[in-house]
A and B are shown apart, each in its own frame.
Chain A
Amino acid sequence: KQEVTQIPAALSVPEGENLVLNCSFTDSAIYNLQWFRQDPGKGLTSLLLIQSSQREQTSGRLNASLDKSSGRSTLYIAASQPGDSATYLCAGGGTSYGKLTFGQGTILTVHP
């Protein structure tokens, strides 16, 4: 059974700092890895999707990497802004049916 862990549980940084959020998974036979953002009381917004055959994906200031052999994914946020404050979730897809196993998230606070 796939288990997904996110460290740290919470992170507070000053505006402008580059930061890395970590995600680890137990089953290396992962189909894909998806990163989401969740604002308080809201739904999930997809940020990046990495297929198992890929090593990284980039969107604007965000870069996500996937290392299946070590069971790790990282989300890199460059030049953080207060608007980046949210909970970030990673989820591993184990089959072609798209079922996702979620980590518990990292609560990010970027203060001015």
Chain B
Amino acid sequence: NAGVTQTPKFQVLKTGQSMTLQCAQDMNHNSMYWYRQDPGMGLRLIYYSASEGTTDKGEVPNGYNVSRLNKREFSLRLESAAPSQTSVYFCASRLAGVSEQFFGPGTRLTVL
């Protein structure tokens, strides 16, 4: 049981490049989330998926898109990366009816 896994662990992009951050969970959880963590700002919700087939915006969705590929996988895409998107990105999941969220190890992204 791997829990929540994220790939890649580290990534460096140039301004304007695109990339997709992958997240998968093997706990049969219904809800999945993407957060970003920045110094002095704490963790902020980017997008979430309450259940398979649904996605919704969080606090800071601009510049991102998401896809809930199936119940296990929830990806985050940066179409045209900007230096302001340099951050640590965390994926989390939760079983509906049980509120505890479980987090992945994070992806450290630098945009030059």
Pick from B31, B56, B99, B105: contact of A43, CB below 8 A: B105
Which residues between 7 and 47 of chain A lie within 8 Å of chain B, taking CB atoms? 31-32, 34, 36, 42-46
Known: A43-B104, A43-B106, A46-B102. A99 touches B90 (CB 8 A): no
Interface membership of A60, Cβ < 8 A: no
Binary CB contact string for chain B from 67 to 111 against chain A (1 if under 8 A, 0 otherwise) = 000000000000000000000001010100001111111100000
Contacts of B44 in A (CB 8 A): 102
- Inter-chain CA distance A45–B102, complex, in Å, is 7
B58 to A103, Cβ gap below 8 A?
Answer: no
Chain B: interface size category: 20 to 34
Residue pair A97, B45 in contact (C-beta under 8 Å)? no
A98 and B103 in contact (CB under 8 A), knowing A103-B42, A105-B42? no
Tell me whether A100 is interfacial, beta carbon within 8 Å.
yes
Q: Are B45 and A100 in contact (CB under 8 A)?
A: yes
Please indicate the chain B residues that have their CB under 8 angstroms from the CB of A105 in the complex.
Answer: 42
Given contact pairs A31-B99, A89-B42, a sample of 8 additional A-B residue pairs in the complex whose CB atoms are under 8 Å apart: A42-B106, A43-B106, A51-B99, A97-B31, A98-B31, A98-B48, A100-B43, A104-B40
Q: Which 9 A-B pairs have the closest CB atoms?
A: A44-B103, A102-B43, A43-B105, A104-B42, A49-B100, A32-B99, A102-B42, A98-B94, A43-B103
